[in-house]
Amino acid sequence: MGVLTDYFRAADAATVVRALEPTEGGLPPLGTDGSFDGVEAKGVDPDVMLGQLLAAALGEPWRVGLVAETAVWPTTPEPGPAGPEDEDDPWATGPWVTELGDAARDALAGVPDERIPEVVGQWAEAEEWDGADPADLLPLAEELIALARRARAAGERLYCWMCL
């Protein structure tokens, strides 16, 4: 079972919640018709996979929590350490949306164009990519970096929508 992930930019969490409420957290609309500006990034979760891209951009080792995240969806209180009590709880079933910290946005946005191939080469070495060719990852990395640049320029935040 794969995880679907989309990254997008928005002014704030309230804007995101208003957009997700009609579909109970369903896929945020990505596009240029007044919907969110975003990137489809199947399987690139914020903590591990995006975190490894961020680590490469920063020139430091990856670590858990490198990408600071704040839960935005579901809007119900987050369950305790034992997890959701009900298997139908939206915290168990998703979808989930997190707001990424500005430090991640700014680090990605700050990667100079001439350094992108080097950063992607390091990202491709992540164990989770299982020997992926950096050339195959380059378009996605360029899209994520460009999205971060647009978000920073607009004073917006980055968000990740995930669903099983």
Chain segment 2-45, per-residue pLDDT in tens:
789 999 999 999 999 988 888 878 766 676 555 899 999 999 99
d(CA 55, CA 48) in angstroms, rounded, equals: 10
The pLDDT of residue 24: 78
User: What is the rounded CA–CA span in Å between residue 109 and residue 13?
Assistant: 20
37/105 Cα distance (integer angstroms): 14
| CA neighbor of 47 nearest in space, from 18, 26, 70 | 70
* pLDDT at res. 74: 92
pLDDT below 70 — which residues of the chain? 1, 27-29, 31-34, 82
Q: What pTM does this model have?
A: 0.92
Q: What is the pLDDT of residue 85?
A: 73
- Residue type at 19? A
Query: What pLDDT, on the 0 to 100 scale, is given for residue 77?
Result: 81
**CA gap 39, 28 in Å, rounded:** 11
Q: How many CB atoms lie within 10 A of CB 115?
A: 14
Q: Which pair of tokens denotes residue 27? A: 């896929």
Residue indicated by tokens 């990408």: 67
